[in-house]
Chains A and B, each alone.
Chain A
Amino acid sequence: MIGFWDVIARSESGPLVKEKEFDLHLGRVAKQLVEKYNIVYDPEQVVPADDGLADRVYQASLDLFLEVGIYCRDTGRVMQFTRQEVDWALKQAASTVTYGQGRDEAVMRCRSVEDSKPPFCLMTPVGTPVAEERFVPLVQSYVQEPLAQTFSSAFSQTVHGRPIKSGTPQEVEAAIWNVIKLREAARAAGRPQIGIHNLISNAERTDAMLAAMHTDFGAQSNDGLCIAAIAELKIDYERVKKVVFLRHSGHNKYGLYGPLMGGYSGGPEATAIVHVAHHFLGLLVFDAQWHCGFPLPIHHGCNTTRELLWLVSVTAQALSRNTRLLITVNTFAEAGPCTEMVAYEIVASALAATVSGADLDLAAVARNRHPDRASGMEARIGAEAGHLAARQGIPREQVNEMVKQILNQYESQIGNAPMGRRFDECYDLDTLQPTMEYLDLYERVKEKLNGFGLNYSLLNVCGTPAR
């Protein structure tokens, strides 16, 4: 067995390596393993139904992790592990995580490829910048979604009218404000004890984050935080400090990994291997109970391109076939709210993830950077598609054909996607419901998706799946 502090000790005793050498070594090993395991991206098999491919990706990722290790930027050392240690960590890994309390309790359970169990749906604007006065309504638009099982935060551009600067006293104030406002949004939505999977998205420093975790501010004992790898298979102590706190406090914690396709790893195949390897990092260093992936391509702000959908699918299959880890896909869409393109992007991602054994983290839209361009409606669109795919028991081969048809609807617009409407333009701020324009748009998209095989008649009139 290997304990948490044994792992951390390796950041002080592992071999000294220059960061650039680590990066180059990672790329070289990933490339060699792609060849060794014959991992090939096929643009016609966006959602591959090849168990052998998924298993080879998994084996390659294990080989890569054992060969490359984890780089600790604070010490310049590589933390290395044995196969037995990784296996042990996998055996100890959580297979369920509970968020929320009372009637708002929800349990995330591990899923398998083509699982008929609906995906766990985390709903979030993923830190989209929003005007301070619209923070609570925007977040509430996610919490109120019937399929939301947890939620997290937007990013208020100011707090008490002042901008938030990392490392300043204002950051601590902002982090506390964030938690207070998230719980306020939950209460306003009539779901006072729903879980918040990431309590703070407006602070970088550990001191600000931990200051905001006080129960009096609204954090529940099983709310949580994410701990992110800072780059491909790299960690730093600032993030590990949070892990230490969370181990003592008992809050939930998850790992966040966003490898860049075209970056240090290489192409889609190599990036797939590196992405899976991050889950071993999360288990060992972050003590993560579940894992959230948002791989992105080097040239775009979305993971709904053909190559990234393949990457998302094949990595989810690799993990769900070979481990019982809880894995989610964080959809990043290029287009903004109230556009057909964003609906198609999110549905394509949700279908590819669901059938491949992942849960859904929905959703960053408008490249996750345009102020006020996010709403709960996008999360609804993804969650409904994921639920239907599972409940209909659609096999991977059929989902592949569906996703290719959906890609035809938007693929040519990637790189020049419409930014759509702001939240206050696509929601009625008095009723906090989507505008007729947005609802009509979704109906048109659903009609098209029905034709592709997604049976929306299984949803009841309120938009939730019939029980």
Chain B
Amino acid sequence: MQVILLAGRYGTRPELPAGMSELEELRGDETIMNMNMGKTLFEEMVAATVAMDEERCVSLARKAVNEGVDPFEAIQNGFARGMQIVGDKLAKLECFLPEVMLSADAMNAAVEVLKPHLVQRVDRGSQGTIVIGTIQGDVHDLGKNIVKIMLEAAGFTVHDLGNDAPVRQFVEKAQEVGADIIAASALMTTTMAHMPDIDGMLKELGIRDKYYVMLGGAPVIAEWAGEVGADGYGEDAAEAVETAKRLLQKKMRR
């Protein structure tokens, strides 16, 4: 009985955040105005995502499918746009991690509805694929979780290895999902010593060129990351997202 009560209590949705005023700004946004669908539906998707309203997001995704709206555009200009607003709010500390997590849940639920209709274009729905984890020996994953959420908000597909993830697991998961980027985090100076092994193992396996490697976390600095073979570094979550975007653009140009 106690479990059921607590589960109910824990499952309660937080109050909606203030800040829906972003929608007002969107009304004059040409990127919305020029869509091949009514701006109201896109706006509603943005609003539902910002409001962390999972039910509404799912319902809007179904509506988009029924009305023959391009599912890619529904994601890109609706739900992902909402996540972008939420991510920006976190960067300005106008909202906090719980709200971002719930908005991400709402968007993901909508994407699940749209996915079957994206078969031919599924790659266009994602900025790229990232395998992320806290490195072997380190159980501190708050920073990594923030980066993960921000990456998802920016449109990346993220596979999370959790904490205390051995180097081999990063490499195997990257191979399994065809990742673009391997991203590792460490909070402790003792655990960051495992990070150079990612570059080493990729080279040993002859697959270094397939992936970009990003490093970050409290004790990691850009110079050191470069010295141990990383292609990118994030001082904080916002920089990590920018770095990931830059690396993906670089990959597309190759």
Contact = CB atoms under 8 A, between A and B. Distances in A.
B101 A24 contact: yes
Contact of B137 (A204, A236, A262, A297): A204
Interface in A55-79: 73, 78
A262 B10 contact: no
Contact of A203 (B3, B136, B190, B224): B190
B190 A164 contact: yes
Interface residues of A, number: 53
A370 interface: yes
A91 interface: no
B6 interface: yes
Contact of B136 (A167, A264, A298): A167
Interface in A31-57: 31
Given A17-B6, A262-B93, A369-B218, A24 B98 contact: yes
B218 A166 contact: no
A386 interface: no
A129 B137 CA distance: 18
Interface in A366-418: 368-371
Nearest to A231: B142
A166 B10 contact: no
A238 B96 contact: no
Given A155-B189, A369-B220, A166 B141 contact: no
Interface in B139-158: 139-142, 146
The interface centre, meaning the residue of B14, B141, B189, B191 with most chain A CB atoms within 10 A of its CB, is: B189
B41 interface: no
A270 B96 CA distance: 11
A71 B94 CA distance: 27
Nearest to B188: A204
Contacts of A255: none
Given A263-B97, A264-B97, A165 B219 contact: no
Contact of B194 (A165, A231, A371): A165
Contact of A266 (B96, B139, B193): B96
Nearest to A155: B189
A297 B238 CA distance: 14
Interface string A242-267: 00000000000000000011111111
B137 to A, nearest CB: 3
A28 B14 contact: yes
B219 A17 contact: no
Contacts of A230: 139-140
Interface string B29-61: 000000000000000000000000000000000
Contacts, number: 121
Given A25-B9, A78-B6, A202 B101 contact: no
B12 A28 contact: yes
Contacts of A21: 7, 10-11
B98 A264 contact: yes
A467 interface: no
B2 interface: yes
B189 A127 contact: yes
A152 to B, nearest CB: 14
A126 to B, nearest CB: 11
A310 interface: no
Interface in B204-249: 218-221, 224, 236-238
B109 interface: no
11 contacts: A24-B101, A31-B15, A127-B189, A155-B189, A165-B193, A166-B188, A167-B136, A230-B140, A264-B97, A267-B93, A297-B93
Nearest first, the 3 closest Cβ-Cβ pairs linking A and B are A166-B137, A27-B98, A21-B10
